[in-house]
Amino acid sequence: MNDHVLARASFTCMEQSTKEDWQLIVPEAMKMAKALPDRILDHLRLLDGDFGGFPVDRLTHSRQTATLALKDGRDEEYVVCALLHDIGDTLGSFNHPDIAAAILKPFVSDENHWMVQHHGVFQGYNFFHHIGLDRNMRDQFKAHPSYEHTAEFVALYDNRAFDPAQPAEPLETFAPMLRRLMASPRNSIYKAAMQPAAQAQ
Ligand SMILES: [Fe+2]
Ligand SMILES: [Fe+2]
Asked if 97 contacts 119 with a C-beta cutoff of 8 angstroms, the reply is: yes
- pLDDT score, position 198: 45
Q: How far is the CA of 93 from the centre of ligand 1 (A)?
A: 11
Give the rounded distance of the alpha carbon of 187 from its chain centre: 15
pTM of the predicted structure, to 2 decimals: 0.93
Question: How far is residue 112 from each of residues 14, 24, 95, 198, measured CA to CA in Å?
Answer: 35, 35, 17, 25
pLDDT of 3 above 70: no
Residues with CB under 5 Å of ion ligand 2 are: 86, 158
Please state, in angstroms and rounded to a whole number, the distance separating the CA atoms of residues 178 and 40. 9
Each residue of 129-168: pLDDT tens digit?
A: 999 999 999 999 999 999 999 999 999 999 999 999 999 9
Centre of ligand 2 to C-alpha 96, Å, is: 10
Q: How many CA atoms lie less than 13 Å away from 3 in the CB half-sphere?
A: 1
Neighbours of ion ligand 1 (CB under 5 A): 86
Measured in whole angstroms, how far is the alpha carbon of residue 42 from the centre of its chain?
13
Give the pLDDT confidence of 90-139 residue by residue, as tens digits: 999 999 999 999 999 999 999 999 999 999 999 999 999 999 999 999 99
Residue 15 CA to residue 60 CA, distance in Å, equals 47
Residue 192's pLDDT is 87
- Gap between the Cα atoms of 63 and 20, Å rounded: 44
Ligand nearest to the CA of residue 82, numbered in listed order: 2
> Residue 201: which pLDDT band, with cuts at 50, 70 and 90?
very low
pLDDT in tens, 15-62: 999 999 999 999 999 999 999 999 999 999 999 999 999 999 999 999
Fold type of domain 39-181:
Hypothetical protein af1432 (1.10.3210)
Tens-digit pLDDT profile for residues 184-199: 999 999 988 887 544 4
**CA of 187 relative to ligand 1 center, distance in Å:** 24
In the reported structure, the alpha carbon of residue 139 is separated from the centroid of ligand 2 by a whole-number distance in angstroms of 19
Ligand 1 center from residue 160 Cα (angstroms)? 12
Distance separating alpha carbons of residues 9 and 133, to the nearest angstrom = 52
Cα 159 to averaged position of ligand 2 atoms, centre (Å): 7
